[in-house]
Structure 1
Amino acid sequence: MSVAPKASTPSWPTPPEGGWTADDLDRLPNLPPHTELIDGSLVFVSPQTIFHERTIDFFKWQLQSLAPADLEVFREFTIDLDNQNRPEPDVVVVRGDAVEDTNQTRFPVESVVLAIEVVSEDSVSRGRETKPLKYARAKIPHYWRVENEKGRAVVHVFELEPTTGAYTGTGIFRERMKLDVPFPLDLDLTRIKARREKDQ
């Protein structure tokens, strides 16, 4: 006697009418790590590449060592843009007074000084179009987009233009990245590589 297989129950939550809200990210059970909320929809990320991981680590530690004492640097931490948008920049620099307690899961957008996105194959349109548009509308003053160019990091730097409310490109950096804002820094981008890789 054969037994018909039972219908499987959907493993992902069904969105409510009008979509999910920023608060839902903290309440929904069993969400995959690094789930974002974009326009009321949950966005799940694909497995991280080695380039992505090393690039995030590099910027997190470099910026943390160079940032003034009144700023804090976090990796993969969500920010509240509005009720239907709670993205997770790969690296975010916030004002220190936004860090309230160790159980905190997000930052208000007005505390964000810099958002960095490391573009991966599944996030090209989000990193180049969707997120910078939303970050600019939310008045985040600085945005960096990092691309993988044949295994090397290329950083596209943008600054908010107050009169238009849009980002303007202020530079593209490949080997050395020297800036005065949001604070002085001079970074050797060639250090984003495998430990066993020989220096040229």
Structure 2
Amino acid sequence: MSLSVRGVVSVSAEPVAEWQWPPTDGYTADDLDRIPGLPAHTELIDGIIAVMSPQKHFHMKCLRVLEGALDRAAPWDRFRVSREMSIVLGPRQRPEPDLIVIHADAEVDAQATWYPASAVVLAVEVVSPESEIRDRERKPQLYAEAGIPHFWRVEDAGDHAVLYVHERDPATKRYVPVGIYHDRATLKQPFAVEIDLSEVHRR
């Protein structure tokens, strides 16, 4: 609505969606399936709703390369590769990794919108400028605390992609770095897979 005072017209304010006013103690993981008008690809971190920005070209190409490599290499009697699904890590934690690898026997029904943390073997984040703190710090911390064994982070280095590979230390419940890859990654965990990172900038 615009208001006019003595010939001066104010700028119309955009209406604020109800979900933008969180309850005092924050949202819960269950709330994400009940809140009307919530944008797609919304995640919950520490009870706060985070809306993901539209994917940039690097992000899209990187996901295509990683998903293709994982999907081809995954032993389908043991694992599945999934994207655009959130993970419930706790009552106030429901992030949505860019890619996940889950146990094959953990697949849920067609109406499910999330996986439990126990189903996830690998979480992958392709870092975006607007979410770099979440992708580099808070989300891997949450994944490790929830018991997810493997975490990969991918960064845009300008002319190539860089893959940072981490494994969870059960004693500290934290990830430790086990490799940095700039061109071709040959990995044995969570299963044998080769990833040609140069494809990201060739496509």
User: TM-score scaled to structure 2, two decimals?
Assistant: 0.90
The number of aligned residues is: 194
The one-letter amino acid of 1:159's match is E
By how many angstroms is 1:15 displaced?
1.2
Quick one: which of 23, 39, 43 aligns to 1:32?
39
| Pairing 1:149-168 to 2, within 5 Å after superposition | 149-168=157-176
Question: What 5-or-longer segments of structure 1 have no aligned partner?
Answer: 196-200
Distance change >3 Å, CA 151–CA 24, structure 1 → 2: farther
Between 8-17 and 108-117, report the one with greater CA deviation: 8-17
Quick one: which of 127, 147, 154 aligns to 2:155?
147
Structure 1 stretches of at least 4 aligned residues deviating more than 2 Å after TM superposition: 2-9
Aligned residue in 1 for 2:72: 65
Aligned residue in 2 for 1:198: none
Quick one: which of 53, 66, 75 aligns to 1:46?
53
By how many angstroms is 1:11 displaced?
2.2
Aligned residue in 1 for 2:16: 10
By how many angstroms is 1:75 displaced?
1.3
Aligned residue in 1 for 2:109: 101
Distance change >3 Å, CA 191–CA 15, structure 1 → 2: same
Verify the 8 A CA contact 2:66 2:195 in the aligned structure 1.
Answer: no
Q: Does 1:128 align with 2:136?
A: yes
Question: What 5-or-longer segments of structure 2 have no aligned partner?
Answer: 5-9
C-alpha RMSD over aligned residues: 1.7
Q: Distance in 1 between matches of 2:159 and 2:46?
A: 32
Distance change >3 Å, CA 8–CA 162, structure 1 → 2: closer
User: TM-score scaled to structure 1, two decimals?
Assistant: 0.91
Aligned-pair identity (%): 44
Task: Give the 3-state SS of the residue equivalent to 2:115 in structure 1.
Answer: strand
Distance change >3 Å, CA 46–CA 151, structure 1 → 2: farther
Task: Give the 3-state SS of the residue equivalent to 2:55 in structure 1.
Answer: coil
Verify the 8 A CA contact 1:56 1:75 in the aligned structure 2.
Answer: no
The one-letter amino acid of 1:48's match is Q
Distance change >3 Å, CA 185–CA 8, structure 1 → 2: closer
Between 18-27 and 3-12, report the one with greater CA deviation: 3-12
Q: Distance in 2 between matches of 1:168 and 1:7?
A: 47
The one-letter amino acid of 1:120's match is S
Distance change >3 Å, CA 156–CA 8, structure 1 → 2: closer
